[in-house]
Each structure stands twice: as structure tokens, then as C-alpha cells.
Amino acid sequence: MFSALPLIHVTSVSQEWGDWFEFARIKPPDLTRGLRVDTIEMSMEAAAQGLGIALGRKPLVDGELAQGRLVEAGPVVRADTSYWLVGADRVYERPESKLFRRWLLSELGNAAH
């Protein structure tokens, strides 16, 4: 299946398909081939248009999966990627920034259970 359809690569993310194939324990096709786009959003739209297979992140693609715009094409694997909340020091002193950070940490704590 993965050798028959083009892989959609996000140019700002290195090694992502290689990591996925490693985690899924599937021999990868030629990872130098396929469609290259600049953003994850562009990769999702290209996949929805039938241009190939893209890597999505749950829950970010749950809406598209529920609507049938996208389908899971292979095993779901846990990635080693992370996200950071970053900003200038003065931004963290704002009440709305503190409130957002507190909410985000609360949500992350709930997701772990």
C-alpha cells in the first residue's frame, strides 16, 4: 500500500515518515520521493484531495476523520515529538497568559488519565 501511493512530506519537519515507519515496524519505500509541502495543514488538504498519504496528529485530525475527509491509512503510532509553549518573558506576566497556561496544564493533566 505505502509503495503504491505518494507520501506527502512536510518540509519543515525532518525524519517524520522515517520515524513513523520505524515505530510501525514497516519497511519504508523510497522516502526521497513524494509530494513536498510547507505546512501540516497543506499536507492534510493534499491528502483530502487524494494526492497521497500524510501523517496527521490526533486530536488535530479527529474532525476530518469524523467527517470522512480523511481516513486512517495505517497503524496509529505514538510519536516522540513534543510541543512547547514559548514567548517573551513579558508575555508570561500578562493575566491572560497565566490563565491560558493554567488551563493548558490542566487539560494536559486530564489527558494523561
pLDDT tens for each residue of 53-76: 999 888 788 899 999 999 988 888
* Claim to verify: residue 61 and residue 12 sit in the same structural domain: yes
Range of the domain at 93: 83-113
Q: Is position 75 within any domain? A: no
Q: Is position 72 within any domain? A: no
| DSSP H/E element including 9 | strand 8-10
Residue 71 to residue 67: CA distance in whole angstroms? 9
Q: In terms of residues, how long is the chain? A: 113
How many distinct structural domains can be found in the chain? 2
In this predicted structure, the answer to whether residue 13 has a pLDDT above a threshold of 70 is yes
> What predicted TM-score, i.e. pTM, was given to this entire model?
0.69
Q: Is position 76 within any domain? A: no
Q: Is position 35 within any domain? A: yes
* Claim to verify: residue 55 and residue 95 sit in the same structural domain: no
Q: Are 11 and 38 in contact (CB under 8 A)?
A: yes
Sign of CA dihedral 37, 42, 46, 52: positive
